[in-house]
Structure 1
Amino acid sequence: MLKYYLILKPLAILLRLLSRLLIPTAHPTPTETIHIPSRDPKRTITANLYHPLSSTNNAQKTTPIKGKKPVLLNFCGSGFVLPGHGTDDEYCHYIAQNTDHVVLDVKYRLAPEYPCPAALEDAEDVLAWVRGQSELDGERVSVSGFSAGGNLATALVANSTSMSTSTSTFGSGSGSGSGSGGGGGFENLVSFYPLLDASLKSKQRVAPEKDGFKLPGWFQWFCTTAYTSGGVECTDPRVSPGFADLRWGVKRCLFVTAGRDCLAREVEDLADRLKRVRGGVECRRVEGVGHAWDKVVKKGSYGWEEKMACYSAVVDLIS
């Protein structure tokens, strides 16, 4: 794998530089930024925390909701490679302001420096930490994610049957963050335009609608290769959740696809398979938009109302 890394690392550096030049830097405004213990005692996992608020008599002021609070874990888009933490700030605020959930936007490790299962281990460790906090309701945990983060959220849920054992699904370790996630299932899964089948080649991915921007084949190859460069197969359920046993430990699932996104069909196919074996599965396709449209659409333009309708659907689902 060293030869792959020597190729992937310089490409990752170049892509990250280009993304800084071409994509506006995210400036999130969470309630606070916290650092969660990981299975490696030498490092912590950064997460932006968004606290739910309730109205007071003064319409201009709000106070935190009291009591044991449910949690939404969120994972940003990144292509598994590009820094994206903070790009879901608007979404996280919306969920926190319209539900009683504490939202944790998790900064997970990126490939190729940290290939799979590193990001999943971070997700698992955050889950274990949440379930160990007395002020958080560890029995009411939902997960969401966008693009690569949607893959991560889905993989976390899809592998949850194994996570209930005393041995970690993603590898053992020491430290207060290690373990299986504390046992128990999930309330909800929300996955926006994720990659769910890494075994597919670029030419096999065709968007439902003809028009629109397709994720370049070389970029798909690079992201998948970087993420699996640690030796994990593309058909491993930790990489491609569609290959997992479909008896997922989650009550409800919401998948959101984009009509002009080449990843849409693999998401919709998996949603259809899930519907055949269980209830509580919804898949919404937003027509006329492409991958990650909600991150670039402007208020008043096409796609804005669709974006807010999807965010509102998340609120309805987890409330």
Structure 2
Amino acid sequence: MAAAFPGPGDVAALRAAATGGRSAGPEVASVRDGEAAGVPVRVYDPAPGGAGRPLVVFFHGGGWVMCGLATHDATCRSLAAGSGAVVVSADYRLAPEHPWPAAPDDALNVLLWARLRAPALGCDPGRVVVAGDSSGGNLAAVTALRAPELVAGQLLVYPPLDAAMVTRSTRTYGEGHFHTAAHMAWYWEQYGGDPAHPHVSPLRAPDLAGLPRTLLVLADCDPLRDEGLAYARRLGAAGVDCAVHLYPGVFHGFLGLPLPAGRAALAAAAAWLRLPPAPPV
């Protein structure tokens, strides 16, 4: 995979490489494309006619530069089929054409759109979860920081959380494990924004109290691993219900691949989404 993947710097080549090699996901009852506040979305419903179900607003990965609805179709199908939740996948604007804050603004607008329509989708407005992998995990975390009162949970899959990239895992796994530190640094450059701003680097947020329950899904051999672990520690210290699923021996991007760890991670994430909302404190 690493040999076939372009190095950082060529946007067109990276986007072309990201379109292939994806497996098909499970069947769901309905899949329909639409638009949410000007942002293209794809809505996955595992069983139309339900009520009180979770609603997942999903943001795809790809370094804020590549990927879209098609590349993460199988992941969204798996989450919907496994959890019984309706999944709204957002095709937010990409960098470098649309640098920060275009993507997080699109993410927030899709959340507002989805939550308003939760009853019509057979979902509970009190069970809305933001989710995403890689850069999409960053957008989910930022969206939860911006509107914690609107979300009941956040599912963060190997998210980049600090543009500083100073962790031990960045040094240990920065090369030779598919996703490289050089790629990540270049993605941050294309994305833009102030690296110290918490809506760019959520790990820099001064206070994480009041955030919703969280599941962090991390790959062991990933430059971003330690950012996720540091975020989990801070969430726990702030009194947030936070779980970490750390998968040994796998690399960044494993969730969307036909690997045993990827299937296990999707199943565990779907089970977490099925959990009832926490009782009021």
TM-score range, shorter chain: 0.7 to 0.9
Paired with 1:259 and 1:66, the residues of 2 have a C-alpha distance of 37
Gaps of 5+ in 1: 1-10, 38-43, 54-63, 162-183, 299-303
Determine the structure 2 residue equivalent to 1:35. 35
* Alignment correspondent of 2:187: 223
For the pair shown, the structure with the greater C-alpha radius of gyration is 1
- Partners of 2:131 and 2:137 within 8 A in 1: yes
Alpha-carbon displacement from aligned partner over 1:129-148 (angstroms, at most 9, x marks no partner): 12222414322200110100
Secondary structure of the 1:288 match is: strand
Identity %: 28
What does residue 155 of structure 2 align with?
190
Q: Report the alpha carbon displacement of residue 73 of structure 1 after superposing the two structures with TM.
A: 0.6
SS at match of 1:70: strand
The secondary structure found in structure 1 opposite 2:171 is coil
Q: 1:51 and 2:45 equivalent? A: yes
- Check conservation: 1:212, 1:260, Cα contact below 8 A: no
Task: Give the CA deviation at 1:155.
Answer: 1.0
Check the 8 A contact 1:202/1:221 in 2, yes or no: no
Matches within 5 A, 1:75-94: 75-94=59-78
Alpha-carbon distance in structure 1 between the residues aligned to 2:18 and 2:74: 20
RMSD: 2.6
By how many angstroms is 1:158 displaced? 2.2
Report the Cα offset of residue 116 of structure 1: 1.0
Give the direction of change, closer, same or farther, for the CA distance of 1:265–1:31 in structure 2 (3 Å limit).
Answer: same
1:163-221, Cα deviation, whole Å (9 max, x unpaired)? xxxxxxxxxxxxxxxxxxxxx332211111110001225988234x7994153343222
* 1:270-317 CA-partner distances (Å, limit 9, x unpaired): 111211221420111111111102333x3xxxxx22222211221221
Tell me which of 73, 80, 103 is aligned to 1:96: 80
TM-score (norm 2): 0.83
Q: What residue number does 1:239 align with?
A: 200
Partner of 2:234: 273
Paired residues for 1:98-177 under 5 Å: 98-133=82-117, 134-136=119-121, 137-161=124-148
Does the 8 Å CA contact 2:55/2:129 hold for their aligned counterparts? yes
Aligned to 1:289, what secondary structure does the other structure show?
strand
Partner AA of 1:292 in structure 2 = G
The whole-number CA distance in structure 2 between the counterparts of 1:258 and 1:243 is 22
Between the aligned partners of 1:68 and 1:269, the Cα distance in structure 2 is: 34
Determine the C-alpha separation between the residues in 2 that align with 1:194 and 1:22.
Answer: 18
Q: Which residue of 2 aligns with 1:200?
A: 165
Quote the offset at 1:97 in angstroms.
Answer: 1.7
Tell me which residue corresponds to 1:41: none
Query: What secondary structure sits across from 2:50 in the alignment?
Result: coil
Amino acid at match of 1:150: G
Unaligned runs of 5+ in 2: 1-7, 275-281
